[in-house]
Amino acid sequence: MTARVLGRMLALAVSIVWAACGAQASESTTRLRLPGPGEVAPQTAPAAAPATAPSGLKLRMTVPAKADAVAPDPPGAPPQSRVLPDGTIAISTLLMAQEMLQNQQAAIAKYVGKPVQFQGTIDYHLINEIGAFIGMTARLPIGYQKFSCISFDRDSVAAARALKLGDLAVVAGIYITPDLRPQTQAAYMGGMQSYDTLNFVECVVLTGHPNPALARALMAGWANERRLGK
């Protein structure tokens, strides 16, 4: 094979390779150049539409759960006492009455000025322009004790208005002795003020209250701040 033939074959091979490379380069860069006159712009994949929420979807804030249920203890439950997270002493009226009847001075020292939550059957019920007045009686073989509660809380008054004599209700208030009794309570409670009555002020009626846990916590905070009887 002569040198002339080899030269022609080499030139042909180079031209073939160059043409192929040019075709690939043209295809790969089509999307990078603007179309010329009379050319149609190449088709490209449409951009993804931004995600949107359905038109009927509404954002809702999480409603915090109400802490410390205040439902009445089941009938026949044994007398018990416990301290709730907000500092309120939750106690059966029977147990507190028993402590008062067995050792009044010790019981007074134990509970005076402290927030107390209790439940019982309403046997005294009065709503007037001053507030709500609720009374309960705990009867034991050794005697009885009345529980007198006065409330000026608007929601508690509304809750008390929905109650009636004979209803089982849960209330909370600050236990005070007669010497600590506010004049307003002494003036409007009448016959409920006697030696056999345990008096509670700043009461909140938890049964039927729209936010019983908060109402009780505010009452307990007020009691701890004022330290009545201490």
What is the token pair recorded at 153?
């809380």
pLDDT at 227 over 60: yes
Q: What is the pTM of this model?
A: 0.64
32 band by pLDDT with thresholds 50, 70 and 90: very low
40 versus 214: which is more confidently predicted? 214
pLDDT at 124 over 80: yes
What is the token pair recorded at 81?
């006492």
How much of the chain, in percent, has pLDDT values that exceed 70?
57
Q: Tell me the C-alpha distance between 53 and 71, whole Å.
A: 41
The reported pLDDT for the residue numbered 97 is: 95
Question: Taking all residues of the chain, what is their mean pLDDT, rounded to a whole number?
Answer: 73
Tens of pLDDT, residue by residue over 185-201, are: 444 444 444 678 999 99
DSSP annotation of 87 reads S
Tens of pLDDT, residue by residue over 57-115, are: 333 323 333 445 465 566 666 667 899 999 999 999 999 999 999 999 999 999 999 99
Q: How far is CA 44 from its chain centroid?
A: 54
Tens of pLDDT, residue by residue over 199-211, are: 999 999 999 999 9
- Picking from 155, 151, 78, 88, the residue whose alpha carbon sits closest to that of residue 118 is 88
The reported pLDDT for the residue numbered 80 is: 73
Judged by average pLDDT, the poorest of 160-169, 178-187, 211-220 is 178-187
Domains of the chain by range and CATH? 81-226 (2.40.50.140)
Judged by average pLDDT, the poorest of 142-156, 177-191, 211-225 is 177-191
* CA neighbours closer than 13 Å in the CB half-sphere of residue 78: 2
224 versus 131: which is more confidently predicted? 131
Q: Tell me the C-alpha distance between 78 and 165, whole Å.
A: 24
181 band by pLDDT with thresholds 50, 70 and 90: low
